[in-house]
Amino acid sequence: MKKEEIRNLLIEIFKEIAPDEDFSGLDDAVSIKDQINFDSMDFLDIIMSLRRECAIKIPEEDYPNFVTVESSVQYIESRLNT
C-alpha cells in the first residue's frame, strides 16, 4: 500500500468511528487528539479496524506511534512492509 492509500484508509476508519466529526481540515503533523474528540475507546477501535483491514497485529508497546496521522501512516507502512 502507498502512503496515500494508507492515509485514506486511516481517514475512512476515523469516519466510521466518529461519523459526526469533520476530518477535512485534519493536519497530519499535529496530534490527532488535539484535533478530534477521540478517547481511549476510540483509539482501541482504530487498532481493531487496522487489524481487520490490514491484517496487522499492533502490540501495546507500539501504540505511541499513533500520535499524528503522519506518524500513524509511517508506522502502518513499516508494518505492512515487514
Residues that bind other proteins (CB under 8 A): 17-20, 41, 44-45, 48, 51-52, 57
Helix axes 69-80, 40-54, angle to 10 degrees: 30
Residue the block writes with cell 512492509? 81
Distance in angstroms (rounded) separating the CA atoms of residues 76 and 20: 25
Nearer to other proteins, 4 or 20 (CB): 20
CB of 65 to other proteins, least distance (A): 18
CB of 67 to other proteins, least distance (A): 20
Distance in angstroms (rounded) separating the CA atoms of residues 82 and 8: 21
CB of 16 to other proteins, least distance (A): 8
